[in-house]
A = this chain, B = another copy of it.
Amino acid sequence: MGKQFIQKIWLGILLLAVACSAPEEVKDVSEPQIEYLVSWNEGPNKQSIIDFVKATTTPGSPDFVAPEDRIATFDNDGTLWSEQPYYFQLQFAIDRVKSMAADHPEWRDDELMNAAAMGDIEKLMSFGEEGLLKIVMATHSGISEEDFAKEVTDWINTARHPKTNLLYKEMVFQPMLEVLEYFRAHDFKTFIVSGGGIDFMRPWTKEVYGIPSEQVIGSSLKAKFELVDGKGQVIKTDGLNFIDDKEGKPVAIHQHIGKRPNAAFGNSDGDLAMLQYSFGTSGKSLQVYIHHTDGDREWAYDRESPIGRLNKGLDEAAANGWTVVDMKSDWATIYPKN
């Protein structure tokens, strides 16, 4: 073969070698080039979250936690979405009373139910927790789980907050959506642990938070099994099953998950026991309180608030070195942009 031919072959091989082994994008083996927590302003609070995730998920770290043990629990009202001037589920219950009132003439003689039908919140609140429970029982029972889920879905897709005019499901906290994503990207299982109704949250938490129904824990009424033509269904009944609040939260976590949360997020004294439970984890853990400090973009409240009171929790957080997020200064945005 001629010298020129050989030269062509070499050139070809050279080009081949260069082209086929073109260096791949330089991989940062510690972290892919994705930016997390972009709505969080730089500071010690943001850093505490990052430090925790890095310490527990980096291979070789002395605080490494096996993926199957990575459990992060989140309160809902006041932690993942707003809760003022009162829990959004209460508005759902009131709307249910209004739509059911025609079929329940006896409610007109009931002070509480009548107040709900009239939308008289102040009167309603005067009946306290027992009153709220009675309204929930009246409007969340005697209905199949599928039918109830449909009622919730219809409501959550249409009901708007009177102050912001946003859909209630748009009043979720963008920085917390980013926390959920960040944790899941590092193989944490994210759970909701809320005092709110488990069946009120489940129809929409997957779409809104990326949290599937089996990872939602909440308060519940009783339910019973019924057979219709050989096929079974579950009907919600009006007995109280469980209130998933305060000391109930660690108990519910024990029952539903069977693992301690190494990371727990809350916003009120109702979450204190859950954070204390997380704090008792052997191994590195993270406890975060979301402190409502922004009266302009959301609502500012803590020690004196009838809804979402954060009083004892603030003191314990300080004593224990927990992270206390200041919504006003830590969050570049509150709600997702539309």
Are the CB atoms of B279 and A250 closer together than 8 Å? no
Assuming the A-B contacts A11-B12, A14-B12, A251-B223, are A198 and B258 also in contact, with contact meaning beta carbons closer than 8 angstroms in the complex?
yes
Q: Contact check: which of B12, B189, B223, B280 meets A254 at CB < 8 Å?
A: B223
What is the count of identical protomers in the complex?
A: 2
**Docked complex Cα distance between A19 and B21 (Å):** 11
- Expressed in whole angstroms, the Cα–Cα distance for A12 and B20 within the complex equals 12
Interface of A is mostly: helix
Q: How far is the CB of A322 from chain B (nearest CB, A)?
A: 11
Q: Any chain B CB within 8 A of the CB of A145? A: yes
Question: Is A279 touching B214 in the complex (CB atoms < 8 A)?
Answer: no
Q: Number of residues in A with C-beta < 8 Å to the partner? A: 58
Task: Verify B234–A254 contact, CB threshold 8 A.
Answer: yes
Minimum CB distance partner of A278 in chain B: B232
Residues of B within 8 A of A255 (CB): 198, 220, 223, 241
Asked whether, in the complex, the Cβ of B214 is within 8 Å of the Cβ of A145, the reply is no
B280 near A216: Cβ-Cβ < 8 Å:
no
Q: Does A55 contact B (CB under 8 A)?
A: no
Contacts A/B (CB < 8 Å), 9 sampled: A11-B11, A68-B206, A71-B214, A202-B258, A225-B248, A232-B273, A232-B278, A234-B277, A241-B255
